[in-house]
Amino acid sequence: MIYINKSVIDTKLVQMTIDSNSAYKIVDDASEIVDEKSNIYLEDRKDNYIRICPGTKIYRCCSYHNIDIMQGCPFDCAYCILQAYLEHDMIKVSTDTESIIQHVRSFQGNIRLGSGELSDSLALDNVVPFTKIIVPIVNELDNIQFEFKTKSANISNLLNLNPKNIVVSFSLNPESIVSKYELKTASVESRINAAAELIKYGYKVGFHFDPVIYVENYKELYTDLIGNLTSKISEDRIEFISISTFRAPQALLDSIKVRSKYTDLLNSDMIKSPDGKYRYYKSLRVDMLKTVYDSLRAEWKDVFIYFCMEHDTVWESVIGYDPGDRDKFELLFNNSFFT
């Protein structure tokens, strides 16, 4: 159900949402709403919407910026950090798009932005059509690249927008992992087909193998997935690919243990890392990353591939070089897109 704070009824995003949906309710505040994933609350939230990815000095991280217009997700991924990060289940949407646009326009120099940190970028785009607001703005600014990151195949609005400065990226895992741990998301085949459709329309796409999940036959599963992907997608339309293994703070591990049917996510031993997150042992991480990386490189020789939140020694072990600190790492992206 869609709930709209009465103070924001005249905002652009709310009016576009109303145009797309006949059923909604006007409320005074969030206390009138049952706190569950099926409820969407459009609110008058003032915030610092755009933030650089926090990263850590210990692990290699780029200078990606997140737009936090939406907090919460309709999907139910067993490993999702939001269950340990957010204090609500309902999906909260800020309607203050003018402040976001003003902030986006203010950037000097090349900036990569995305909206997929505290929610899925496209899962609800047919309900709350943020793409229709932000894409035309981004396409006016040649120093901006905007990424929509998704586990959905909800691309209909994008097919009516200019793809100029936009990248649409899809998180991928083998279907057996998706069906068990990524509940309510689109099938892997649907995601790949959506990527292929966007490419036909002129978009560049990305793929995130993140998190790579340990199961006994992970090598076979990920090799087969990549074989399917590379047979259907042309390398020359891929902007980037990220790879990273499952990692979690203690609060997320505790949440997974409470949801007992998912405890097999923790079948492999994990160790507490310097940033406080638990990761697979380094030898296993290197093997898993190398499996995915080598499978991709066997078919796609030139696509830009990077490891998200990994140690420099892991980079060295897998591909033989260290991308350097945040500023140096970001130059790899700049050389790929802003040329």
- The full set of domain ranges for the chain reads 47-66+113-337
- Rounded Cα distance between 256 and 247, Å, is 12
pLDDT cut 90: percent of the chain above it: 78
In the chain, what is the straight-line distance between the N-terminal and C-terminal CA atoms, in Å?
44
Q: Which residues pair with 76 in a beta bridge?
A: 183
- 128-160 burial, b at 16+ Cβ within 10 Å, e below that, comes to bbbbbbbbebbbeeeebbbbbbbbbbbbebbee
Q: What is the pLDDT of residue 331?
A: 73
β-pairing, 25-27 vs 305-307, is unpaired
Tallying the residues shown for the chain, one arrives at 339
Q: What is the pLDDT of residue 77?
A: 96
- Rounded Cα distance between 133 and 148, Å, is 13
Q: What is the pLDDT of residues 193-205, one digit of tens each?
A: 999 999 999 999 9
Q: CA torsion sign, 14 to 20 to 26 to 30? A: negative
Q: What is the pLDDT of residue 242?
A: 95
Q: What is the pLDDT of residues 271-305, one digit of tens each?
A: 999 889 999 999 999 999 999 999 999 999 999 99
- 294-304 burial, b at 16+ Cβ within 10 Å, e below that, comes to ebbeeebeebb
Q: Which CATH class is domain 47-66+113-337?
A: alpha beta
Q: What is the pLDDT of residue 337?
A: 63
Q: What is the pLDDT of residues 31-59, one digit of tens each?
A: 999 999 999 999 988 776 788 877 777 77
Q: What is the pLDDT of residue 307?
A: 93
Question: What pTM value is reported for the model?
Answer: 0.94
- Rounded Cα distance between 170 and 142, Å, is 23
pLDDT, averaged per 10 consecutive residues of the chain (339 residues), comes to: 96 94 92 96 84 77 86 96 92 94 92 92 96 97 96 98 97 97 97 98 97 96 98 95 95 88 86 93 97 97 91 90 73 66
Q: Sheet harboring 40-43: ordered strands across?
A: 25-27, 2-5, 40-43, 91-94, 70-71
Q: What is the pLDDT of residue 61?
A: 74
